[in-house]
Amino acid sequence: MTSIQNAPDTDRLTDRYRRVRQTTEALCAPLSPEDCLAQSMTEASPAKWHLAHTTWFFETFILEAHQEGFRPFGEQYRVLFNSYYNGIGEQHPRPQRGLLTRPALEEVYAYRAHVDAAIDALLDSPKGEAIAGLVELGLNHEQQHQELILMDLKHLFSCNPLDPVYWRPPSHAGRESPPLTWHHFGEGIRQLGHPGGGFHYDNEGPQHRVFLEPFQIASRPVTCGEYLDFIADGGYRRPELWLEVGWNRLRKEGWEAPQYWRRDADGSWTVFTLRGRRPVDPNEPVCHVSYFEADAFARWAGARLPTEAEWEVATRERPGPRGTFLEDNLLHPVPAPGEGRAPVQMLGDVWEWTGSAYLPYPGYRPPEGAVGEYNGKFMVDQMVLRGGSCATPRSHIRETYRNFFPTDARWPFTGFRLARSGS
């Protein structure tokens, strides 16, 4: 994989467009055509589909409306690479994306080049200002898919008994994780959500007031070593720690550890990573756990998960050192830096489950048209995650960013930190 570089803050939109699009292709560069086509589960998509869908977004929402004499690159692409936009029309069934042997991979790259040239021309034309907002949305959408490519690829490679290596990162000296401490926040009325100005998703607003009782939040995410203690204490065998739906899912799926962990014959634990399989590092943030597992651990630890309001307030009022992102080229969470006066790794390394359901903020209204399907229609049966991960582009994340997944999702780069009520 070509190392992903940080983008300068002074990038023009045209430069940013090219950089984001090139990053997606850099992520796919180490892959064979077979790697790009395979689909390991219904929730995941082949890399080839991600390459095409992100291009479909620009073609469908920008070129179709703004390019004079527009003609689609492929008549069937409108259906093949539509994800969930019912306002656009039919979609190819998600579980069957891995069956799309045609168009070939080289045709998908030709599709990308065709759309890129057309978007470049529009940005340099008098219509550039009119399409700027949609282009920015498309770029953030593509950055989401960059992380999805890595999530889906990791799941795919984990199914291979050869334990394939996707990327050998730069050398990274390990370190011991600092002891867990607590940061205290008093009661009061706070502002929650994006204040407006600059790019943000519609689900981050409108900004509104919330009242918070006194709370405490952990100085860092829960580590693998702490999670090993939970496992050793029978955490996966004690129904009193689990929500009923989670306990039923545990029994059905046979969960006994985070996804990608394996207990070897000698009783030691290994974990599959994008660097291959290796021993579990007890100092790293635990990763690839479901909401149910995070909630059970919190109950075992005599704590709870923070609400998203508590998480955002803690991040904004007491910002600490950030963790790693996609541009750090590690693609795996690393131990927290030393203790400080603020919580660390609130941004980066692992997405953090919160105890908040994914619901609209007061006064929320989805945008009109098909673009309005981007977030609003998923505000049910999901929980909010905050903070980004080691696979999230640095320029994509912010304190108000609201990610969301079903409670049983384990293949994202998901971890958690603890919270407690009271001062």
User: Each residue of 16-37: b (16+ CB within 10 Å) or e?
Assistant: bbebbbebbeebbeebeeebbb
Pull the structure tokens for residue 410: 């384990």
Top-confidence residue, 393 or 366: 393
Which pLDDT does position 368 carry in this prediction? 84
State the CB neighbour count (10 A cutoff) for residue 198.
Answer: 8
Which pLDDT does position 338 carry in this prediction? 79
pLDDT at 283 over 80: yes
Report the alpha-carbon distance of residue 42 to residue 93 in Å, rounded. 10
Top-confidence residue, 366 or 101: 101
Which pLDDT does position 8 carry in this prediction? 46
pLDDT at 1 over 70: no
Report residue 172's pLDDT band, with 50, 70 and 90 as the boundaries: low
Pull the structure tokens for residue 345: 């790794």
Q: Which residues pair with 415 in a beta bridge?
A: 352
Mean pLDDT of 16-40: 98
Which pLDDT does position 171 carry in this prediction? 63
**End-to-end CA, the chain:** 47
Pull the structure tokens for residue 167: 């990327």
Percent of the chain whose predicted confidence (pLDDT) is above 70: 96
The 8-class DSSP code of residue 61 comes to: I
Report the residue count for the chain: 423
Alpha-helix residue ranges (DSSP H) falling in 376-419: none
Report the alpha-carbon distance of residue 27 to residue 410 in Å, rounded. 22
pLDDT at 4 over 60: no
- CA 151: distance to chain centroid? 8
Cβ-contact 200, 375 below 8 angstroms: no
CA nearest neighbour of 70 among 12, 3, 131: 131
pLDDT at 395 over 70: yes
Local structure of 276: helix, strand or coil: strand
Report residue 370's pLDDT band, with 50, 70 and 90 as the boundaries: confident
Asked whether the CA dihedral 276, 282, 286, 289 is positive or negative, the reply is: positive
Asked whether the CA dihedral 203, 208, 212, 217 is positive or negative, the reply is: positive
pLDDT at 50 over 90: yes
Instruction: Kindly list the distances between the CA atom of residue 419 and the CA atoms of 6, 217, 229, 305, 412, in Å, as whole numbers in the listed order.
Output: 32, 4, 19, 5, 22
pLDDT at 170 over 80: no
Which pLDDT does position 341 carry in this prediction? 85
Local structure of 284: helix, strand or coil: coil
Strand 414-415 vs strand 351-357: parallel, antiparallel, or unpaired?
parallel
Report the range of poorest mean pLDDT among 145-154, 171-180, 398-407. 171-180
* pLDDT tens by residue, 78-101: 999 999 999 999 999 999 999 999
* pLDDT tens by residue, 190-247: 999 999 989 999 999 999 999 999 999 999 999 999 999 999 999 999 999 999 999 9
Mean pLDDT over each residue of the chain, to the nearest integer: 94
Q: In what order do the strands lie in the sheet with 351-357?
A: 403-405, 383-386, 351-357, 414-415
Residue with tokens 């693998």: 224
Which pLDDT does position 173 carry in this prediction? 59
Pull the structure tokens for residue 56: 């479909």
Pull the structure tokens for residue 43: 């929730």
Which pLDDT does position 11 carry in this prediction? 59
Percent of the chain whose predicted confidence (pLDDT) is above 90: 90
State the pTM of this model.
0.95
The 8-class DSSP code of residue 62 comes to: I
Which pLDDT does position 2 carry in this prediction? 47
Pull the structure tokens for residue 269: 């634990």
Which pLDDT does position 168 carry in this prediction? 87
Which pLDDT does position 269 carry in this prediction? 98
Instruction: Kindly list the distances between the CA atom of residue 274 and the CA atoms of 157, 286, 332, 362, in Å, as whole numbers in the listed order.
Output: 8, 15, 8, 40
Mean pLDDT of 381-387: 97
Question: Residues near 109 by Cβ (< 8 Å), separated by ≥ 6?
Answer: 25, 51
Report residue 330's pLDDT band, with 50, 70 and 90 as the boundaries: very high
State the CB neighbour count (10 A cutoff) for residue 380.
Answer: 8
Which pLDDT does position 387 carry in this prediction? 98
Report the alpha-carbon distance of residue 246 to residue 238 in Å, rounded. 12
Which pLDDT does position 375 carry in this prediction? 85
Q: In what order do the strands lie in the sheet with 419-421?
A: 182-185, 215-218, 419-421
Report the range of poorest mean pLDDT among 26-30, 108-112, 352-356, 368-372. 368-372
Cβ-contact 323, 355 below 8 angstroms: no
